[in-house]
Structures are given as C-alpha cells and as structure tokens.
Amino acid sequence: MPTNRPDLPGRRFFLRAAGLRLALPLFDSLPTTVLGSGLALSALSANAKTVRPMRMVAIGNAFGFYSQQFFPQATGPDYNAPHLLEPIAQHRKDLTVFSGLDHGVKGGHFAVHSFLSGVRQVDAKGMPDGNISLDQRMAETVGGATRFPCLNLGSEEGLHGGCMMSWTRAGTRVNPIQGPRELFRKLFLNESPAEQARTKDRLTLQGSILDSVNGDARSLKHRLDPQDQQKLDEYFSSVRDVEKVLVQRQKWAGVPKPDAPMPEPENRGLVTDIPVLYDLMALALQTDSTRIATLEIAGGFEAAVLGVRKEYHSLSHHGQVQESIDLLIKLERYQTEQFARFIGKMKSINDGDGSLLDHTMVLFGSGMGNGNAHTNVNLPVVLAGGGFKHGTYQAFPSSGPNRQPLSNLFLTMLQRFGVEQKKFALSTGTLRGI
C-alpha cells in the first residue's frame, strides 16, 4: 500500500468519515449483559440500583442571553426568577444560577468558542492541555465503556462556520451531528449482515492505513528542525485521536442496536428539532450509550418559526431598541422553556437509587456575556442535577481576590465525574458553595 506524504491528508479525512453505533438499555434487574461475541454491553453490575455512572450534558448558546431578564436581583435561595428563568423556576431545588463567572477572554463571537474549554484556540499552544473542552476531557476517561464517548449535536449553518463549542486535545473542532434524523439513525438503524461484514473489513483496512501513515511520519522526525518537529508532534496527537476512534468502532461493530421506541423523526429545522434532540439525548444517556452529550445553539436558529421576522444574530445586536429586545427575549425564552422541559424529563426517568438528573450534570449557558456589546464577561450559567447542593442564585465578584473563573466550576464538574485532575484551563481551584 503506498504511503507517500501527499496521501496523508486524504487518508486522515477518510478515517474520520466512518460511522458509529449505540448501545442497548441498562436493566436494573439483570446482571451485566454479555453478547455472543464476548463483549460486555455494560460495565454496570446487578447492583446498579445503588451504583450508577455520572453523566454530563452541556447546552451552549452562541449569542448569550439578555442579562436584565436572566440574572435575578437577590442572591440566595429566595431569589425571584426573572422572565427568562421563569420556565425553570419549578426546578429551582435541582439547579443553581450563577453570575460573575467567565474565562477572562476577549474576542466577541470568536471568544464564544472558549465556552467549554476556557481557552481560545489561538491561545492554546501555551496550555498543557491545549484548548480541550470539558466534554472531550471527560470523554477521554470513558474509553470503551460506552459506544459513544460523547455525542455532539448542533447545526453547521450560520455565523463563523457553525458549531465550535467542542475541541479535542489536539485543537481540532468536533463536528456536530446535524439533526434528529441523523442521531436517530445512529441510535437505532441496524446494518444488514453483509453491511456489517463490510464495515469490519473497512475498519481493519483503516487501521492498517493508520499504522503505515504513522510509521512514515515518524521516519521523518530526525530530518526536521525544532519548529517542524513540533508540527509533527501535533500531527501525532491527531493520529492518536483517530486511533482511539478506530479502537472504539471495532469494539462495538458487532453489537446490535435496540428497537426504536418511536418513528424516525424528520429534520424540520433547529428550532422545531430542539425538543426531539433533547429527547434523544435523554434516551442515549438512559441506555448508557453515552455519558456525555452537548447541544450548541448557534446558526440555523429560524426565528420565523417563533413568529419573529428578524434574524437572531441581528437581534442580539439590539442597540437598546426595545422592540428588538422584546423579540430577542422571545427567542431566548423558547430556549429556557425547552431546557426546563429537558430537566423535567430527566427527573422523571428512574435511574438506580435516584433519577437520571440526579446522576447527570446539566450545564446551560453561553460564552457570550453581552451580545449587543460583544463582551465575554459575566456569562449566563445554570447548572442542574449531578448531586450538587442546589437551590440558590450565586453571584460572584467579577474582579478582585474573590473572583472565580468559570473553569473553577468545570474543575469541580470534572472531579464529580471522576477525573483525577487538579487544574482545568485557567482554574484556580474548585468552586465554592456547591
């Protein structure tokens, strides 16, 4: 098989093009299910009613929320929910509202992409973990325990090239699954025996291609100057990411999928699809098909579906015009309503000794603090579930010795997830009070 350098980019793109599959549900009344191939379907044992894995969901908005209708006036447990938080007020005992948290970055829309990483991509080289995002750092620890280390959902339409919320350790943007139909097919559509055989052959071939590409690249290292050696090290990091994906796919290639609990949904547009995407995320978590999922709301948000005849991005630059503010709030209220619905659904699903929400950290917010001013400070953030001490509105100072970076919350979440880590991005410790 030829291994000359001009083929490398094409091969790497081909490797990323293969599909993935999903797992069957967890049954509390049964021991670990072992398939005919000898592959354990779940790492959870028969005492799963008392031991359940921690999960994480992150929902990000690229344009922020109108702060006067998002942040309460009074802190503590007795805060009055402003208009945008009214839909989630019924779940206030299960969540915490934060203000004053951010990453200390600037850049407007381009800095929004640091929401889950705490680091802009352009600043990542000097960081020990690059700009790896919270979801991908957690996914590194899951390994092959689930078919999908992480499910990333969103639209590629609109501003600045679509979804840019999730980043690998190598600094590569994670492409989202676009639409509920595509996610449904990953979850439930089985290949025929012939297609399964072709998939296994393709994965074996991809693995051999990767081996040869890796060997060719390493043979070059002794001929490179220090700068090019650094580039090559970055390439090796990308190769390792691909290797992990291949191992994951080979492990689950022969595992059958569960029966679909509903008809295949159509893609109707992001606004209409959001409730279905939330439902499918809950199902993926419930079946332990994944323990980590993200949904980014950016481009492709059709304001007209909600009766708003102005474009979402332009409304975020409202210029203090009340009519535009009112329309913007209508779009944002829809998002908090759907988030509240998701929280309610997670609470209704039994999961061992509690609910699915008890065992899932759900982050909701944005990397944009003020869309009108293009600032990335004082980010809107809500954390629900995960067994934390909830029920309050916490306002942290935006400057001074008591300032708390948002990465402190992320470090706290990582440790709750089971990651043995003492620092994430620019964290200064774990977050107090939760």
Mean pLDDT by 10 residues, the chain (434 residues): 37 32 37 34 40 94 95 95 97 97 91 94 88 96 85 78 84 90 80 63 58 65 72 63 60 67 88 94 89 91 93 92 96 98 95 94 95 92 97 92 94 96 95 86
Q: Report the alpha-carbon distance of residue 232 to residue 313 in Å, rounded.
A: 39
Q: Please tell me the predicted confidence (pLDDT) of residue 35.
A: 33
Q: What is the pLDDT of residue 253?
A: 61
pLDDT at 304: 93
> Of 202, 229, 255, which residue sits at a domain end?
255
Query: CA 433, CA 413: separation in Å to the nearest integer?
Result: 13
Pair 142, 289 in one domain: yes
Same domain, 168 and 197: no
In a domain, 430, yes or no: no
Residue 270 lies in a domain: yes
Whether residues 64 and 176 fall in one domain: yes
pTM of the model: 0.78
Give the pLDDT confidence score for residue 200 in this predicted structure: 61
> Do residue 197 and residue 186 come from a single domain?
no
Question: How many angstroms separate the CA atoms of 142 and 55, rounded?
Answer: 10
Residue 292 within any structural domain of the chain: yes
Task: Please give the pLDDT value at position 386.
Answer: 97
Given this model, what pLDDT does residue 187 score? 73
Residues 235 and 336 in one domain: no
Is 431 part of a structural domain of the chain? no
- pLDDT score of 282: 93
215 shares a domain with 104 = no
Say what the pLDDT of residue 236 is: 63
Please give the Cα distance from 380 to 376 (Å, whole number): 10
- What's the CATH code of the domain at 282? 3.40.720
Judge whether 66 and 74 are in contact, CB under 8 Å. Answer: no
User: Does 251 share its domain with 281?
Assistant: no
For 25, 55, 125, 427, the CA distances from 230, given in Å and listed in that order, are 44, 35, 11, 26
Q: What is the pLDDT of residues 189-237, one digit of tens each?
A: 766 667 666 656 665 655 555 566 666 666 666 677 777 776 666 666 6
Q: What is the pLDDT of residue 3?
A: 39
Domain that holds residue 234: 1-29+193-255
